[in-house]
Amino acid sequence: MIDLSIVMVTYNHEKYVKDAIESILMQWTQYKYEILIGDDSSEDTTAKILGEYQELYPDKIRLIKRTENIGATKNLHDLLLKTKGRYIAYLEGDDFWSDNGKIEKQISLLECGFYFGIAHANYRVDMKGNIFGETCYFDEPTEITINDLLKTSGIFHTATLMHKNFFLNSDLDFSIIFEAHKLISDYTIACLCLNNGPILYIPDKLSSYRENLSNNGGNASAIIRRNMIGEYEEIITMYSKLESYFDKKYNFDYTKAVRALELISTYLVKKNTTLKHISGFTRKLSYKTKLFTIHLFVRKLCSYIRKKLIVF
């Protein structure tokens, strides 16, 4: 029996995928694991590199080479249905694990049986792997429920998550993973897990998330501005699809408002879109979501004013 399935989605990751795989192979663990990799028809040498690793570690690596690009979330969905482990962990092809005891730590906590999953903090690194920051949502171990998630746009990265494998021997339809959004799966995976039980968040930084720090935000063209609005519209639509998937068991109006406020705040600070586009976006929101957005905006404004008065 395999204890852990590590799912890795790759696409044009030739510069980084070795770091990702090596960070798994360097794990000190008593648990048996498989690395299930889906390469989404990369146009560089990623597939070749993956093939070489599969030849070296045929007992650990299962490689699926897509003949055509199917998209990140469809790729992930297919891999998850093929997992064999009792638990599942995630690692993008351009990220890497930072702690050689990650598997041991997370499985040991899961084996206690109190939580459906374990998530953790992570380092933020540049494209060369240099640490420039960290993401840590809680300073001490904290239990997260579905209600906690619904109050935010996200509490943890999927790349930090390890959870019980609910895909094994299941006849449920999990196509929501790619139907909700063609590129983003973090929130959907989090919802699916938390629907089964609470997740324990630990402040240990066990992985590194690679970020492109190049300044690509200076282009003020209408196309980029429209794409920004379109991105938020797709995310709002994602929440509506999740609402339907769970048969309205959970209410995502507050979550939508959090995202709407993000867009408005970005406009006020960076002016990287137009007021016309913002107005068009907010008109599409439901009445309840608009009320939540106004409430959040007023609360944020009051907090800003209080800070200014204290400084004054």
The 3-class SS string of 37-63 reads EEECCCCCCHHHHHHHHHHHCCCCEEE
Structure tokens at 93: 């092809």
Helix%, strand%, coil% for the chain, nearest 5: 45, 20, 40
The pLDDT tens digits for 27-77 are 999 999 999 999 999 999 999 999 999 999 999 999 999 999 999 999 999
Structure tokens at 186: 């973090």
Is residue 39 a contact partner of residue 121, using CB atoms and an 8 Å limit?
no
pLDDT at 269 (0 to 100) = 66
pLDDT band at 312 (very low <50, low <70, confident <90, very high): low
Say yes or no to pLDDT of 176 above 50. Answer: yes
- Please report where in the chains the tokens 């324990």 appear, as a residue: 200
Q: Which of 140, 148, 224 is nearest to 190 (CA)?
A: 148
pLDDT at 288 (0 to 100) = 85
pLDDT averaged over the chain? Answer: 90
Between 224 and 160, name the one with better pLDDT: 160
Pairing of strands 142-144, 61-65: unpaired
Residues in the chain: 312
Give, in order, the Cα–Cα distances in Å from 216 to each of 183, 210, 233.
20, 16, 21
Is residue 79 a contact partner of residue 3, using CB atoms and an 8 Å limit?
no
Between 15 and 295, name the one with better pLDDT: 15
Provide the CA 128 distance to its chain's centre, in angstroms. Answer: 21
Structure tokens at 275: 């007021």
Domain limits of the chain?
4-210, 222-311
What phi, psi does 96 have (nearest 5°)? -160, 160
Say yes or no to pLDDT of 220 above 70. Answer: no
- Please state, in angstroms and rounded to a whole number, the distance separating the CA atoms of residues 291 and 80: 38
Q: Is 130 exposed, middle or buried (0-12, 13-18, 19+ CB in 10 A)?
A: exposed
- Please report where in the chains the tokens 């990220």 appear, as a residue: 95
pLDDT at 217 (0 to 100) = 34
pLDDT at 68 (0 to 100) = 97
CATH topology for 4-210 is Spore Coat Polysaccharide Biosynthesis Protein SpsA; Chain A (3.90.550)
pLDDT at 143 (0 to 100) = 98
Write the Ramachandran bin of 90: left for phi over 0, alpha for psi from -120 to 50, otherwise beta: beta
pLDDT band at 225 (very low <50, low <70, confident <90, very high): very low
Residue range 96-111: average pLDDT? 98
Pairing of strands 162-164, 87-90: antiparallel
Say yes or no to pLDDT of 90 above 90. Answer: yes
Residue range 154-177: average pLDDT? 95
